[in-house]
Structure 1
Amino acid sequence: MISVFDLFKIGIGPSSSHTVGPMIAANLFLDSILGQASVSDIKSIEIELYGSLAATGKGHATDTAILLGLLGHTPSTIDTRQTDLYLSPILVDNQLNLSGIHTIEFDAQRDVLWYDDTVLPYHPNALTLRAHLMDGTHYQQTYYSIGGGFVINDEDATNPDVDHASPTIDDIPYPFNNAAELLEQCNQHQLSVSELVLANECHYRSLDEIYSYLDSIWEVMERCVEQGCESSGILPGGLQVKRRAQALYLQLCAEKDQPIAQSDKLAAMDWVDLYALAVNEENANGGNVVTAPTNGAAGIIPAVLHYYRDFLQSYNQDGVRKFLLNATAIGSLIKQNASISGAEVGCQGEVGSACAMAASALAEIIGGHPAQCLNAAEIGIEHNLGLTCDPIGGLVQVPCIERNAMGAVKAINAARLACRGDGQHMVSLDKAIETMKQTGADMSDKYKETARGGLAVYADNRIPTATRGVSVNYSQC
């Protein structure tokens, strides 16, 4: 089981695999080099980007994320409003201050190398960082950003049978490797999915620490929706995509007390759309979001949680905690047995996974038993199978933002449909997860976050190719 502390992480947009992961890789590189030399021994640094990281790295600000990581910033603590200030000495003066203690010369045009036609063996999201030392030697490390902000190095990748995203936890009270085992544990011990996950989490951390973290995750999600509803303008990157959340929010507020809105049985869905749009516009703008389980699908779980908060009378803080714990179980199953990486299996691994997680969690909140929760998750995955990752221009904007709204509504419907049944379903959750993995393996690479197929090559001269040219500076918007 992957911990809730690993699956839900506070990071920055626009991408958990292309922005958060590379920044973490830069942090890890600086930490690892301390075992070989001192930071002050570094003469120069080269950055090599491969596969999907190179193909859509400009639109995802991958290079600038690495530079921010080399400066010593982390995804959870960086002030995204100040990134232009942080980057200015590098981009203007060619001066990179490693960890804030040692300055080297760095020319982004010369020292960042893009190999979009080269895919390294382990994963399509790969980067190599190389430090040339004063004594003429060099130290390098290759990292793989495997989705959701999870990062492993080349040494980790040599053992594919080990899940490096989370420590081995064979001694937890209720271990499970697949959905069938999860359901068996729940039934045998008369536990809900969230209760089982909480018991496993308590094996390593105190209840207060777990609850505090869950509350902080929900707080960031709420703040992200608020900021998205308060912000207007054009999203960065050159597509000229107009932010819609603020206008929709004002429209819905103005209509709330009108008879037509009160008689509309589906009015809640307009608000769910709003919540999802708000989060993913913040993500596209490089703001602070929660990987849930990725940035590209970051709006679905917050949107469904806000639906719970604003439209279900049973809402309380403990319910939010149960929701996130339940979602952790489903996300853990998908990540361990398939993938949550758009570059590996397409958007079915991002939006599909988030939809399944939110569906299962909401099913428990509205009274569903474990079998109904897993049925809801299966519906969420099944009806996202084959979903491609083909953002226009390599930017996480079109169709990504709107796709989150559709995924959130689908998750609510999946939960309601499952809870109207008895939990029995023709296709098991395990089979749906395996099918998603196989579908991703069969999917052409041009539909897996390479900006080379589908909507990504939309034939309009007004749309730039974000894989070339100047990187996006999200802090200026």
Structure 2
Amino acid sequence: MFLSVFDIFKIGIGPSSSHTMGPMTAAVDFLDRLSSGENGRFDPGSVAHITASLHGSLAFTGKGHASDRAVMLGLLGFRPDAVDADLAEKRLKELHETSTLTVAGCGKVRFDPENDLVFDFGPALPLHANGMKLNALDENGDILLADTYYSIGGGFVMTEAELIASENGPDVDLHEEKEAVGYPYPFGSAAEMLQMGKASGMSIAEMKRANEESVLGAEALNSKLDAIWNVMNNCIERGLSQEGELPGGLSVKRRAKGIYQRLQSQSGSNRQQPHTVNDWLSVYAMAVNEENAAGGQVVTSPTNGAAGVVPAVIRYYRDHCVDCTREGIDTFLLTAAAIGGLIKHNASISGAECGCQAEVGSASAMAAAGLCAALGGSNEQVENAAEIALEHHLGMTCDPVKGLVQVPCIERNGMGAIKAVSAASLALHGDGAHFMPLDNCIETMRQTGQDMREKYKETSLGGLAVNLPEC
């Protein structure tokens, strides 16, 4: 098994990786297929009309997550990692006025945002809670190309055929395939990861680096890691400087700037409480998730809804830990990505599939492992740190109020960051030996997600989403 660091950490926009970035990516992919005439099967110039529908969680929380806006941006050719905000708003305004898209190779194509984008509140599509259908028709209404896409969490998107093939493919074949194309350490479980580390004498970060360098080379890898951290840190800085209300109608006020200013004013004071470090962790995480809720640029870590945990703990490492180094940040990112890849491969990082345990829980496990590694932990201590953090998020539901990634999501990222640091510290005080293996904890999370009622899995039909204060 091999998932790149840059599959886990993807630059995109808020408020959701599965509900914003995923639909946008699917729409762009559909355009590319139209422009090729699906490899010559039809004349691209005959495409006259495009329709779309959102299903399952994409429908129930799509308005709050701006999924409709994301589909339209994708059909306008915008990709999540390169959205010019001003140009995007201009193109959306034109689309609403003209109901016309300009598609490469196809020319002018009809798409009426009011009628051609449907929120289907019926049963979810069979393969995943986040389903989306796209259709291209000719002037006579005959279908030229139609497909179903699934947004499976963290901005990952698969067509129906791809998802079926991935579920049917045995893991052993995946391992053999990855070894054949040159990845030296294609571990598919934490047990394999520890075995490979012991046999090679390498750390988890060193093995992950060797896998990445076999494709990218050292210079490109370092450059891309720098870019990921820079976007994360810039997001923190933006969040710490902004004020006002977040969009969506809940009248949630940005709090990160005010908390940050109070923490700065108290710095060095004799009256500063020892638990203030938790406030720093929380404010870094909240800054990111307030930016995400406002539709700003973030890094999936491993999702947008959990995007604040890893950056907050890295910032904590950089600004508050003894003997931190720039190389330590790379070690952190590489190790965290290794853990995130294992969780995605063996369970899920999708709130719509397994609840928030799969989002903030996964992010906390990644951050705990990353911090443990950056502070010099052994592979066994790193695996222990990830397990502790994930174990204590098991069963957490995803119940965003009004479908917005605000309540309880923003504060929940702060709590995930605090748990990550505590887990790393506990692991570093041990020798790596512990009762519950990470693999077992990941499997428990998967089973818990399967057993969880649908209303607690990013539908806003249960939990905090329906227990609102009376005005």
TM-score, normalising length: structure 1: 0.93
- Looking at structure 2, the residues matched to 315 and 322 of structure 1 have their Cα atoms a distance apart, in angstroms, of 11
Tell me, yes or no, if the aligned pair for 2:57 and 2:130 is still in contact at 8 Å.
Answer: yes
The residue that corresponds to 1:185 in the other structure is 196
Equivalent position SS for 1:158: helix
Partner of 2:21: 20
- Mark the runs of 5 or more structure 2 residues left unpaired by the alignment: none
Separation (CA, whole Å) in 1 of partners of 2:45 and 2:422: 56
Mapped partners of 1:14, 1:61: distance in 2: 7
Correspondences of 1:376-415 after superposition (within 5 Å): 376-415=385-424
Instruction: Label 1:382 to 1:333 Cα distance change in 2 as closer, same or farther (>3 A).
Output: same
Cα displacement (A) at 1:41: 2.7
2:184 matched to 1:173? yes
SS, match of residue 306 in structure 1: helix
SS in 1 for 2:114: helix
1:92 counterpart = 2:97? yes
Change (3 A) 1:441 1:148: same
Task: Return the match for 1:249 from 260, 271, 277.
Answer: 260
Partner of 2:164: 158
* CA-CA distance at 1:317 after TM superposition: 1.9
Q: What is the aligned counterpart of 1:344 among 353, 369, 372?
A: 353
Structure 1 residues 294-321: Cα deviation after superposition (integer angstroms, max 9, x where no partner): 0000000000000011012322221111
- Rounded to whole Å, the distance in 2 between the matches of 1:100 and 1:219 is 37
The one-letter amino acid paired with 1:19 is: T
SS of equivalent to 2:168: coil
Structure 1 runs not aligned, ≥5 long: 463-477
Higher relative contact order, chain-length normalized (CA < 8 Å, sep 6+)? 1
Tell me what 1:9 maps to.
Answer: 10
SS in structure 2 at match of 1:384? coil
Task: Give yes or no for contact 2:208–2:335 (8 Å, CA) kept in 1.
Answer: yes
> Aligned equivalents of 1:9 and 1:170: distance in 2?
24
| Distance across 2 between alignment mates of 1:350 and 1:83 | 28
Mapped contact 1:234–1:241 kept (Cα < 8 A): yes
1:422 aligned partner: 431
| One-letter amino acid of the structure 1 residue matched with residue 236 of structure 2 | V
SS in 2 for 1:204: helix
Counterpart amino acid of 1:94?
S
Q: Report the more deviating stretch, 225-234 or 266-275.
A: 266-275
Q: Does the Cα contact within 8 Å between 2:133 and 2:148 map onto a contact in 1?
A: yes
Report the TM-score, using the length of structure 2 for normalisation.
Answer: 0.94
Partner of 1:32: 33
Tell me the secondary structure at the aligned position of residue 461 of structure 2.
Answer: coil
SS of structure 2 residue aligned to 1:122: coil
- Determine the structure 1 residue equivalent to 2:57: 52
CA RMSD of aligned residues (A): 1.8
How many angstroms does 1:99 deviate by? 5.4
Matched, 1:213 2:224: yes
Contact 1:17 1:147 in 2 (8 A): yes
Q: How far apart in 2 are the matches of 1:226 and 1:162?
A: 43
Query: 1:220-258, CA deviations, whole angstroms, 9 ceiling, x for partnerless residues?
Result: 001000100111110000000000011111111222133
1:350-406 deviation line (CA, Å, top 9, x unaligned): 000000000011011112100000000000110000000000011000000000000
TM-superposed CA distance for 1:44, in Å, is: 1.1
Residue 46 of structure 2 is matched in structure 1 by 41
Within 2, Cα distance between the matches of 1:458 and 1:90?
37
Residue in 1 aligned with 2:248?
Answer: 237
Q: Which amino acid aligns with 1:6?
A: D
Match of 2:81 in 1: 76
**Contact in 2 for aligned 1:391/1:456 (Cα 8 Å):** yes
Aligned residue identity for 2:158: I
For 2:255 and 2:425, the matched residues in 1 are separated by 28
Q: How far did 1:39 drift? A: 4.7
Cα offset, 1:103, TM superposition: 3.1
Q: How does 1:58-457 map to 2 (within 5 A)?
A: 58-98=63-103, 102-134=107-139, 136-138=141-143, 139-159=145-165, 160-162=167-169, 168-171=177-180, 172-261=183-272, 264-457=273-466
Cα separation, 2, equivalents of 1:64 and 1:347: 24
Percentage identity across paired residues of the two chains: 49
Deviation sequence 1:176-217 (CA, Å, 0-9, x none):
111111001111111111001111112211111111111000
Answer yes or no: is the 8 Å Cα contact 1:276–1:405 preserved in 2.
yes
Cα distance in 1 for partners of 2:179, 2:85 equals 39
Q: How far 1:135 sits from its partner (Å)?
A: 5.9
1:309-343, Cα deviation, whole Å (9 max, x unpaired): 10123222211111110011100110000000000
Aligned equivalents of 2:382, 2:208: Cα separation in 1: 14
> How far apart in 2 are the matches of 1:258 and 1:267?
11
| Native 8 Å contact 1:297 1:404 kept in 2 | yes
> Could you tell me how far apart the structure 2 residues matched to 1:135 and 1:329 are?
50
Q: What residue in structure 2 maps to residue 465 of structure 1?
A: none
Structure 2: which amino acid aligns with 1:152? M
Q: Please give the alpha-carbon distance, in whole angstroms, between the structure 2 residues aligned to 1:336 and 1:75.
A: 23
CA pair 118-105 structure 1, distance change in 2 beyond 3 A: same
2:13 and 2:296 in contact (8 A); partners too: yes
Q: Which of 133-142 and 348-357 deviates more?
A: 133-142
Measure how far apart 1:137 and its partner are: 2.8
Secondary structure at the aligned position of 1:104 is classed as strand
Cα deviation, residue 163, structure 1: 9.1
Matched AA of 1:242? K
